[in-house]
Amino acid sequence: MGYCDNCDRIFEIVEKNCPMCGKKLNAQPLLYPIKNKNNNQDKSISEAWKAFLEILKECSILSIFGYGAPLSDTDAIESMASAFSSTFRKFDFVEIIDIKPQNQLLDEWDPFLKETNYHVKCYTNLFDSIIAEFPRRSIEGYCQRNFSLWWGESAIKLKKFQSVWELGDWLQPLIDKENNNDYSLITTTFTEHPEAEYDNNR
């Protein structure tokens, strides 16, 4: 990622220059898992951190993948928990993708899980997660299944690819829909839950 001092914006570093003002982008520094973070020491980190916490406040599904909540990262975890708990969460969902024992994961992430009334699932494999089941449509898939009694399947599920270009081609139908402001699922079947059919016939 690249940061523009002039525009206070973050862009893909491959752009080389800011697409807004043309100024050369600065490389985005890394934020290491240390106990006492000083996020304000670097303006780009400070802006990225603020944006992340705003996203965390608004998310309906929190997928934790590749982050083990180390004890050295106390400040970050407290800030994330505070942001996440600032919104009503009882219908929201947390998924944790990690190879640690489930009991350990539930203990480590308890401040987040209790906010959702413990709507949580733990996976040891990314391909079992809702991210993989509904790529780019995890919230749509979750809502369809849990609130609309939909029992179909996504036609596009994450799998292993030989290259990032192959992955891009595979996702293109979803991106084409997004370009038309259409965020609906691409499904293979549509089957109502038997109870829903029974209720409709009463």
pLDDT at 122: 96
pLDDT at 112: 87
Mean pLDDT across 21-39: 71
pLDDT band per the 50, 70, 90 thresholds, residue 195: very low
Local confidence band at 135 (pLDDT 50, 70, 90 cut-offs): very high
pLDDT digits (tens, 9 = 90+) for 184-193: 999 885 444 4
Q: Which of 16-25, 39-48, 128-137, 192-201 has the lowest mean pLDDT?
A: 192-201
- List Cβ<8 Å contacts ≥24 apart for 32-36: 33/70, 33/72, 33/73, 33/76, 34/72, 34/73, 35/71, 35/72, 35/73, 35/74, 35/75, 36/75
Q: Is the pLDDT of residue 127 over 50?
A: yes
Please report, for the chain, the start and end positions of each structural domain, with discontinuous segments joined by +: 1-30, 33-124, 136-202
Give the residue-averaged pLDDT of 65-93.
83
Q: What is the pLDDT of residue 201?
A: 35
Does the pLDDT value for residue 181 go beyond 70? yes
Determine whether 84 is exposed, middle or buried from the number of CB atoms within 10 Å of its CB (0-12, 13-18, 19+): buried
pLDDT tens digits along 84-108: 888 888 889 999 999 999 999 999 8
Rounded distance between C-alpha atoms, residue 30 and residue 195, angstroms? 51
Contact between residue 49 and residue 31 where contact means Cβ atoms under 8 Å apart: yes
User: What pLDDT was estimated at residue 31?
Assistant: 64
Counted residue by residue, the chain has a size of 202
Q: pLDDT value at position 68?
A: 77
Mean pLDDT estimate for the chain = 83
CB atoms within 10 A of CB 109: 20
Spatial CA neighbour of 175 closest among 141, 142, 135? 135
Report the alpha-carbon angle 132-134-139, nearest 5.
Answer: 120
Specify the higher pLDDT residue, 10 or 118: 118
What pLDDT score was predicted for residue 38?
59
